[in-house]
């Protein structure tokens, strides 16, 4: 058998592995090229800034989701937690008349505490994370409506600043970059990050290796809640108010961004850079469809197809690694 005959299957395997590991980035580049051809407004400065602002909320939310999925869990409550955190912050400022800095901190602490409750329910209460966070989705959204009485609440200037500009650069983009660097550092450069991969890869093996699996799960969900709170404050800052229905459905975008970016729903696999690319894919699709005057109904169909393809890629990745 000739060398060329042997090399052909190897090249096919290498191509499959390359597409499995970098499919989201390749897809994003192809998508941008297609939209550049389809509409001249896509690659304009204002539209690119708009994409950066829009992706900030989804990506920050998805960074927290990355921790949970890498550790083998799922968090369906992050959208509601984002709304609740922003609402608590607004209430502290507008109703309790506390300083804006305190209100901002209260919003972040709210997200952290709710995330810890999710983690305790999953790790020590033995509830599947899907069930625990599904319940919290309803609880957090209900509390948001109770606190606000269904009406928007004015945010503190410190929160509104997050939706403004620092010189020529929008603050949401700055916060996005800082959040990405912090999340990547946690996942790639800390013992906690390595422990997340171990727990997500094989929880029982991680326990037998001496890792405090239950505490790690609590911390992971706490981080997801904290990042959700930051995303909620970013959204409130852009709107200059805390909205009771803010971030509704964003948990699905966050999960989709993580999976599109290369994470496995089975756990043990995922990257912050991949999640950022996945969030960009979702936002660019919506932005491009808006520029092409496609209705929101069809946009939901397209996003659903993208999610299905992302899950299919996850299956392909696992088959490729096992072969």
In tens, the pLDDT along 250-279 reads: 999 999 999 989 898 889 999 999 999 999
pLDDT in tens, 278-302: 999 999 999 999 999 999 888 889 8
Mean pLDDT of 103-113: 97
DSSP H stretches of helix in 39-128: 45-70, 78-94, 100-123
Residue at 98 is within a domain? yes
Of the ranges 14-18, 175-179, 244-248, the best mean pLDDT one:
175-179
Residue at 146 is within a domain? yes
For residues 211 and 195, what is the distance between their CA atoms, to the nearest angstrom?
A: 7
pLDDT in tens, 49-66: 999 999 999 999 999 999
Q: Which domain holds residue 92?
A: 40-316
pLDDT in tens, 182-219: 999 999 999 999 999 999 999 999 999 999 999 999 99
Quick check: 7 pLDDT over 70? no
pLDDT value for 155: 93
Average confidence score pLDDT of the chain? 90
Task: Calculate the alpha carbon distances from 247 to 58, 83, 223, 251 in Å.
Answer: 9, 6, 18, 8
Q: For a pLDDT cut of 70, what percent of the chain falls above it?
A: 90
Residue at 65 is within a domain? yes
Residue at 210 is within a domain? yes
For residues 231 and 222, what is the distance between their CA atoms, to the nearest angstrom?
A: 14
Per the structure, how many domains does the chain have? 1
302-314 burial, b at 16+ Cβ within 10 Å, e below that, comes to ebeebbeebeebb
For residues 63 and 224, what is the distance between their CA atoms, to the nearest angstrom?
A: 8
Specify burial of residue 5 (Cβ count, 10 A radius: 0-12, 13-18, 19+): exposed
Residue at 310 is within a domain? yes
Size (the chain), residues: 323
pLDDT value for 307: 78
* 36 contacts 43 by C-beta, under 8 angstroms: yes
For residues 121 and 144, what is the distance between their CA atoms, to the nearest angstrom?
A: 21
Q: Which two tokens stand for residue 249?
A: 């459905």
DSSP H stretches of helix in the chain: 3-38, 45-70, 78-94, 100-123, 129-148, 157-162, 171-189, 191-201, 203-208, 213-239, 250-260, 272-291, 296-322
Q: Could you tell me the pTM of the whole model?
A: 0.91
pLDDT value for 87: 97
Quick check: 225 pLDDT over 90? yes
More confident residue, 95 or 117: 117
Residue at 247 is within a domain? yes
Which of the residue ranges 33-42, 173-182, 192-201 would you say has the lowest mean pLDDT?
33-42
Residue at 13 is within a domain? no
- Give the CATH number, domain containing residue 137: 1.10.3470
Residue at 17 is within a domain? no
Specify burial of residue 100 (Cβ count, 10 A radius: 0-12, 13-18, 19+): middle
For residues 61 and 55, what is the distance between their CA atoms, to the nearest angstrom?
A: 10
Task: Calculate the alpha carbon distances from 161 to 155, 158, 174, 184 in Å.
Answer: 10, 5, 12, 25
């Amino acid at each position: 058998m000739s060398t060329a005959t042997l090399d052909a299957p190897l090249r096919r395997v290498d191509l499959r592995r390359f597409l499995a590991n970098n499919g989201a980035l390749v897809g994003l580049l192809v998508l941008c090229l297609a939209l550049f051809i389809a509409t001249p407004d896509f690659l304009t400065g204002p539209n690119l800034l708009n994409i950066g602002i829009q992706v900030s909320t989804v990506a920050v939310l998805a960074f927290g989701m990355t921790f949970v999925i890498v550790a083998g869990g799922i968090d369906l409550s992050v959208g509601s937690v984002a709304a609740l955190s922003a609402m608590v912050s607004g209430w502290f400022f507008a109703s309790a008349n506390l300083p804006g800095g305190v209100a901002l901190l209260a919003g972040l602490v709210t997200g952290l505490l709710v995330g810890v409750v999710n983690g305790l329910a999953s790790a020590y209460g033995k509830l599947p994370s899907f069930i625990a966070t599904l319940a919290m989705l309803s609880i957090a959204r209900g509390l948001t409506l109770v606190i606000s009485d269904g009406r928007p609440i004015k945010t503190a200037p410190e929160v509104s600043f997050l939706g403004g500009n620092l010189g020529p650069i929008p603050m949401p983009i700055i916060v996005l970059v800082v959040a990405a660097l912090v999340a990547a550092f946690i996942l790639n450069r800390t013992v906690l990050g390595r422990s997340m991969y171990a727990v997500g890869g094989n929880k029982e093996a991680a326990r037998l290796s001496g890792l405090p699996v239950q505490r790690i799960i609590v911390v992971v969900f706490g981080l997801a809640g904290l990042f959700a709170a930051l995303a909620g404050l970013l959204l409130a800052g852009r709107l200059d108010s805390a909205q009771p229905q803010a971030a509704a459905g964003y948990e699905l975008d966050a999960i989709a961004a993580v999976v599109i970016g290369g994470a496995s729903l089975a756990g043990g696999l995922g990257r912050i850079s991949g999640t950022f690319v996945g969030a960009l894919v979702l936002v660019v699709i919506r932005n491009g469809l808006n520029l092409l005057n496609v209705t929101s109904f069809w946009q939901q169909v397209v996003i659903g197809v993208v999610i299905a393809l992302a899950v299919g890629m996850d299956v392909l990745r696992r088959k490729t690694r096992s072969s």
